[in-house]
Structure 1
Amino acid sequence: MSCEEMRQLRLVLLIFCMVTMSEALTEVADVDWRESLGLGKETVTKLHFYFHDILSGDKPTAVRVAQAATTSSSWTLFGAVMMADDPLTEGPDLNSKVVGRAQGLYGSSGQEEMGLLMVMDYSFTEPPYNGSSISILGRNRVLNTVRELPVLGGTGMFRFGRGVAIARTYRADFSNGDAIVEYNVTVVH
């Protein structure tokens, strides 16, 4: 067989393989992945709760675990990293019914503008969401009246979840850093 015939044969084999692979991928794409995992149809769940970030007092729910050498001279506290285990409640009063915990970390990520990079797991403890959680990762421009944060996943009832969390500061004490934030979350799962 000549070199030219070998090249033509390789080209025919390559095209055959590409067509075969394309057909196989199309078959995989046609499979309903939710059904194959034993999941039902997607639903939309709307959640409403209050997030209590307490930096003051004897039992703070968020503590600074790291900071840059220049953090204390920055008006935005750029470089400060906080670890949090914040209660989530039905109402804005800390004594209202606890429906879960927000656990994770956030750090001051803006040099010119106050903004936090949040990496948090919101775990719920009340039915029907008991044992389920949503994960939020995004920039929180805390001085804006309304902030939009992405829901990137979930567990339990919210498995394969995605959506958006709308955060509004209900109350903030800039002298001690304590804040109560109202959350309206829409999760597709």
Structure 2
Amino acid sequence: MANPSNLQMIPFRGSVLENTEFNLHNLFLHQIISGDDRNQAILIDGKPTPSPNFGQTAVNDWAIYEGVGSDATLVARAQGMHMRADSFYNSFIMVFKAERFNGSTLEIMGASLEENSTNDWAIVGGTGVFAMARGVIERKTPEVVETGKIVQELSINGFCRRKFVLTKLGPWGNQGSSTHDIQEKPGHLVSVTIFSGVIFDAISFAYIDENGTSRTSGRWGGFGGNSTVIQLGSSEFVKGLSGTIVANYLGYLNIISSFKLVTTARTYGPFGTQIGGTSFETSVPEDATIVGFFGSSNQIYMTSIGVYTIS
């Protein structure tokens, strides 16, 4: 670990954003109608008139994944009911299980119009991260993957009230000749690009600021190394980082020689080489996530790095 005197914790004023935009894409609702693994059950049988199965009512606990395959990450469960008139009317709570959103909910209402190529459901409320949410869920025509199973692709677009505390942790390393930071308070990390070869050369990242505007940091560090783009999934969040600081590399003093990122999905790196020196490592609490970086560099390499976290 870095020396504790190297660690800053600077909390920003807590804020409430009334119109925070959120977008979750590439989500797939798995509706299992029959079989041992079914996730819905009929409570009331339907009548033949005035339309087939009129009044049929079922309870559902549909699973929503980030992907279609069996190894896809569970994001949420759609728990509620659906009933048949001319089409199916749905009313359910989307209870999130993904770590950053765990326990938060969206209240969903809408019809399933099977004859249309696309179909929207309304977001009429929410709790937790999605407090007072409103918006729409775009639902593509159901696809039968196998007998008794239907998969629907969902794209969630909405606005909610968000209260957060932004905290600055670090930096780890030594002050270089150039200081790097961002001007706008970050709200969500979208991607991180690492430039590295034998040594960790540079970093850049894309993020959404507190007003919902897309931002990029620019490239911090030197101009060497090959680039690796870490594109974060909609339910993937950065939870920690680590690295190695070497006192002297080819005459360059106190540089970060290796760098690693840990997300809720996997570990990226190490980038560069762990060639002795002093190691550093940090992770954030369960209810927090890393949303940006700051640091310093010399003419060629990064010399220190710190993070912004949000909780």
Question: How far has the Cα of 1:174 moved from its partner?
Answer: 9.3
| Distance verdict in 2 for CA 1:175–1:90, change over 3 Å | closer
The answer on 1:137 being equivalent to 2:109 is: yes
Counterpart pick for 2:93 among 121, 125, 128: 121
Choose which of 122, 138, 141 in structure 2 pairs with 1:166: 138
Contact 1:123–1:133 (CA under 8 A) maintained in structure 2: yes
Contact 1:136 1:151 survives alignment (8 Å): yes
* Residues 114 and 142 in structure 2, CA contact (< 8 A), matched pair in contact too: no
**Is 1:39 matched with 2:10?**
no
Aligned to 1:7: none
Task: Quote the Cα distance in structure 1 between the aligned partners of 2:93 and 2:82.
Answer: 11
- Is the CA contact (8 Å cut-off) linking 2:22 and 2:159 kept in structure 1? yes
Which of 130, 145, 150 is the aligned partner of 1:179? 150
Instruction: Output one character per residue of 1:91-126: Cα deviation in whole Å (capped at 9) or x when no partner.
Output: 02244111110100001110xxxx210001111111
C-alpha distance after superposition, 1:37-83 (max 9, x if no partner): x7334210001211011011112101111123437x954x3221110
CA distance in 2, matches of 1:94, 1:164: 27
| Consecutive unaligned residues in structure 2, runs of 5 or more | 1-14, 161-311
CA contact (8 A) 1:167 1:181 kept: yes
Question: Conserved in 2, the CA contact under 8 Å of 1:134 and 1:151?
Answer: yes
Q: Is the contact between residue 95 and residue 104 of structure 2 (CA under 8 Å) also seen in structure 1?
A: yes
Equivalent residue for 1:57, pick from 27, 30, 35: 35
Q: Which amino acid in structure 1 is aligned with residue 73 of structure 2?
A: K
Contact 1:158–1:187 (CA under 8 A) maintained in structure 2: no
Q: Which residue of 2 aligns with 1:26?
A: none
Partner of 2:216: none
SS at match of 1:128: helix
More deviation, 86-95/51-60: 86-95
Q: How many residues are paired up?
A: 145
Under a length normalisation based on structure 2, what TM-score does the superposition of the two structures give?
0.43
- Distance (whole Å) between structure 2 residues aligned to residue 174 and residue 82 of structure 1: 21
Q: Which stretches of structure 1, 4 residues or more, deviate above 6 A after TM superposition?
A: none
Structure 2 contact 44–56 (Cα < 8 Å) conserved: yes
* Separation in structure 1 between the aligned mates of residue 116 and residue 133 of structure 2, nearest angstrom: 26
CA distance in 2, matches of 1:104, 1:55: 15
* Counterpart contact for 1:122–1:133, Cα < 8 Å: yes
Name the Cα RMSD after superposition: 2.2
Residue identity in the other structure for 1:107: M
CA distance in 1, matches of 2:110, 2:94: 14
Higher helix share: 1
Aligned to 1:97: 73
Question: Who is 1:78 aligned against?
Answer: 54
Could you report, residue by residue, the CA deviation over 1:123-154 in whole angstroms, capped at 9, with x for unpaired residues? 11113211111111122212311001110000
DSSP 3-state at the match of 1:101: strand
Q: Using the alignment, how far apart are the partners of 2:143 and 2:19 within structure 1?
A: 35
> SS of 2:129's equivalent?
helix
Could you say which residue in structure 2 is the equivalent of 1:28?
none
TM-score, normalization: structure 1? 0.70
Are the equivalent residues in 1 in contact too, given 2:145–2:151 (CA < 8 A)?
no
Aligned mates of 2:83, 2:55 — CA distance in 1 = 7
SS at match of 1:40: strand
Query: For residues 165-187 of structure 1, what are the alpha-carbon distances to aligned partners after superposition, in whole Å with 9 as ceiling and x for unaligned?
Result: 100135226964x2100000112
